Amino acid sequence: VGTALVAPGPAQGVRLGDRAVFAGSSLPLLMPLAARTGLSGQVLAIGPNAADLKARAERDGHLVEMADVPPSDGSYDVAIVEASGDWATLFTPLLHAVRAGGRIVVVIGARAQSPLAFLKSSGSREAEPAAVVDRLGRAGWHRARSIGGRDGLEFVEAVRT
Protein backbone atom coordinates (compact mmCIF):
# COMPACT_ATOMS: atom_id res chain seq x y z
CA VAL A 1 0.00 0.00 0.00
CA GLY A 2 1.53 3.32 -1.06
CA THR A 3 1.48 6.36 1.18
CA ALA A 4 -0.65 8.28 -1.33
CA LEU A 5 -3.63 6.00 -0.65
CA VAL A 6 -4.12 7.20 2.93
CA ALA A 7 -5.40 10.79 2.87
CA PRO A 8 -4.89 12.76 6.09
CA GLY A 9 -7.40 15.37 7.24
CA PRO A 10 -5.81 18.42 5.59
CA ALA A 11 -5.99 16.89 2.12
CA GLN A 12 -9.75 16.52 2.44
CA GLY A 13 -10.23 20.27 2.00
CA VAL A 14 -7.93 20.49 -1.02
CA ARG A 15 -9.54 20.34 -4.45
CA LEU A 16 -8.37 19.65 -7.96
CA GLY A 17 -6.64 22.75 -9.28
CA ASP A 18 -5.80 24.23 -5.85
CA ARG A 19 -2.41 25.75 -5.14
CA ALA A 20 -1.00 24.44 -1.86
CA VAL A 21 2.13 25.25 0.14
CA PHE A 22 3.46 22.40 2.29
CA ALA A 23 5.85 23.09 5.18
CA GLY A 24 6.98 19.85 6.72
CA SER A 25 9.05 16.73 6.26
CA SER A 26 6.43 13.97 6.18
CA LEU A 27 5.93 12.29 2.82
CA PRO A 28 2.65 10.66 3.99
CA LEU A 29 1.24 14.17 4.52
CA LEU A 30 2.55 15.55 1.23
CA MET A 31 1.50 12.77 -1.14
CA PRO A 32 -2.30 13.10 -0.70
CA LEU A 33 -1.98 16.85 -1.28
CA ALA A 34 -0.13 16.30 -4.54
CA ALA A 35 -2.69 13.68 -5.61
CA ARG A 36 -5.65 15.95 -4.82
CA THR A 37 -4.37 19.07 -6.60
CA GLY A 38 -3.63 17.10 -9.75
CA LEU A 39 -1.88 18.41 -12.83
CA SER A 40 -4.01 21.56 -12.92
CA GLY A 41 -2.96 22.59 -9.40
CA GLN A 42 0.35 23.05 -7.67
CA VAL A 43 2.03 21.83 -4.51
CA LEU A 44 5.04 23.79 -3.30
CA ALA A 45 7.18 22.11 -0.64
CA ILE A 46 9.19 24.60 1.41
CA GLY A 47 11.97 24.23 3.91
CA PRO A 48 15.19 22.28 4.37
CA ASN A 49 13.65 18.94 3.28
CA ALA A 50 11.92 20.31 0.18
CA ALA A 51 14.37 18.83 -2.34
CA ASP A 52 14.11 15.35 -0.80
CA LEU A 53 10.30 15.54 -0.65
CA LYS A 54 10.15 16.68 -4.28
CA ALA A 55 12.37 13.82 -5.46
CA ARG A 56 10.44 11.19 -3.48
CA ALA A 57 7.06 12.51 -4.67
CA GLU A 58 8.19 12.57 -8.30
CA ARG A 59 9.33 8.93 -8.05
CA ASP A 60 5.67 8.13 -7.27
CA GLY A 61 4.43 10.22 -10.21
CA HIS A 62 3.41 13.44 -8.41
CA LEU A 63 4.48 16.91 -9.47
CA VAL A 64 5.85 18.93 -6.54
CA GLU A 65 7.71 22.22 -6.72
CA MET A 66 10.23 23.31 -4.09
CA ALA A 67 11.56 26.48 -2.47
CA ASP A 68 13.54 27.43 0.61
CA VAL A 69 10.99 29.98 1.85
CA PRO A 70 7.30 30.65 1.18
CA PRO A 71 6.56 33.08 -1.65
CA SER A 72 4.94 36.37 -0.65
CA ASP A 73 2.66 36.74 -3.67
CA GLY A 74 -0.61 35.76 -1.99
CA SER A 75 -1.48 33.31 -4.75
CA TYR A 76 -1.89 30.05 -2.82
CA ASP A 77 -5.24 28.62 -1.69
CA VAL A 78 -4.04 26.66 1.32
CA ALA A 79 -0.95 26.18 3.47
CA ILE A 80 -0.34 22.91 5.31
CA VAL A 81 2.14 23.04 8.21
CA GLU A 82 3.47 19.98 9.99
CA ALA A 83 3.96 21.00 13.64
CA SER A 84 7.53 19.81 14.05
CA GLY A 85 10.80 21.65 14.32
CA ASP A 86 10.48 25.44 14.04
CA TRP A 87 6.86 25.33 12.85
CA ALA A 88 5.52 28.51 14.51
CA THR A 89 7.97 30.81 12.69
CA LEU A 90 6.23 29.96 9.39
CA PHE A 91 2.81 31.39 10.29
CA THR A 92 3.56 35.01 9.31
CA PRO A 93 5.40 34.24 6.04
CA LEU A 94 2.63 31.83 5.05
CA LEU A 95 0.03 34.53 5.74
CA HIS A 96 1.61 36.46 2.84
CA ALA A 97 1.73 33.37 0.61
CA VAL A 98 -1.97 32.55 0.95
CA ARG A 99 -4.68 34.56 -0.82
CA ALA A 100 -7.45 36.41 1.04
CA GLY A 101 -10.05 33.79 1.91
CA GLY A 102 -7.42 31.05 1.84
CA ARG A 103 -6.59 28.93 4.85
CA ILE A 104 -3.87 27.29 6.84
CA VAL A 105 -4.06 23.82 8.38
CA VAL A 106 -1.57 22.85 11.08
CA VAL A 107 -1.06 19.10 11.53
CA ILE A 108 -0.09 18.08 15.07
CA GLY A 109 1.23 14.66 16.04
CA ALA A 110 2.78 11.70 14.31
CA ARG A 111 0.93 9.30 12.08
CA ALA A 112 0.90 5.84 13.58
CA GLN A 113 3.08 3.60 11.43
CA SER A 114 1.62 0.35 12.77
CA PRO A 115 -1.30 -0.79 14.94
CA LEU A 116 1.07 -0.99 17.95
CA ALA A 117 2.92 2.30 17.35
CA PHE A 118 1.16 3.91 20.31
CA LEU A 119 3.18 1.64 22.62
CA LYS A 120 6.35 3.50 21.62
CA SER A 121 4.90 6.93 22.41
CA SER A 122 7.13 9.03 24.65
CA GLY A 123 4.18 11.10 25.84
CA SER A 124 5.83 14.34 24.72
CA ARG A 125 4.31 16.51 22.02
CA GLU A 126 5.65 19.33 19.92
CA ALA A 127 2.43 21.36 20.08
CA GLU A 128 -0.99 21.45 21.67
CA PRO A 129 -4.04 22.62 19.68
CA ALA A 130 -4.76 25.54 22.08
CA ALA A 131 -1.18 26.81 21.71
CA VAL A 132 -1.38 26.55 17.92
CA VAL A 133 -4.68 28.49 17.89
CA ASP A 134 -3.04 31.22 19.98
CA ARG A 135 0.08 31.42 17.78
CA LEU A 136 -2.00 31.60 14.60
CA GLY A 137 -4.01 34.50 16.02
CA ARG A 138 -0.85 36.37 17.01
CA ALA A 139 0.54 35.87 13.49
CA GLY A 140 -2.51 37.55 11.90
CA TRP A 141 -4.63 34.53 10.94
CA HIS A 142 -8.36 34.70 11.77
CA ARG A 143 -10.97 32.29 13.14
CA ALA A 144 -8.36 29.76 14.29
CA ARG A 145 -9.89 26.62 15.73
CA SER A 146 -9.20 22.97 16.34
CA ILE A 147 -11.05 20.90 13.74
CA GLY A 148 -10.53 17.46 15.25
CA GLY A 149 -8.21 14.56 14.75
CA ARG A 150 -7.70 11.22 13.09
CA ASP A 151 -5.06 8.46 13.01
CA GLY A 152 -2.94 10.02 15.76
CA LEU A 153 -3.03 13.47 14.12
CA GLU A 154 -4.84 16.61 15.29
CA PHE A 155 -5.73 19.53 13.01
CA VAL A 156 -6.00 23.27 13.62
CA GLU A 157 -7.34 25.54 10.91
CA ALA A 158 -7.41 29.33 10.37
CA VAL A 159 -8.32 31.65 7.52
CA ARG A 160 -6.74 34.74 5.98
CA THR A 161 -9.19 37.61 5.68
pLDDT for residue 105 is more than 90: yes
Identify whether the C-beta of residue 10 lies closer than 8 Å to the C-beta of residue 29.
yes
Predicted model pTM? 0.84
95 or 40, which is more confident:
95
pLDDT in tens, 109-147: 865 444 444 444 444 456 899 999 999 999 999 999 999
Average pLDDT score over residue span 67-92: 93
**Distance between CA atoms of residues 109 and 82, nearest Å:** 8
Cα separation, 78 vs 133, whole angstroms: 17
Give the per-residue pLDDT at 13. 73
| pLDDT, tens digit (0-9, with 9 covering 90-100), for 35-59 | 999 888 999 999 999 999 999 999 9
Mean predicted confidence (pLDDT) in 23-46? 91
What pLDDT, on the 0 to 100 scale, is given for residue 14? 87
Q: What is the pLDDT of residue 119?
A: 43
Q: Which residues have a Cβ under 8 Å from the Cβ of 57 and sit 6 or more positions away?
A: 27, 30, 31, 34, 43, 45, 63, 64
> Do 70 and 12 contact (CB within 8 A), yes or no?
no
pLDDT tens track for 143-160: 999 998 888 899 999 999
Q: State mean pLDDT over 1-19.
A: 60
How, if at all, do strands 42-46 and 76-82 pair?
A: unpaired
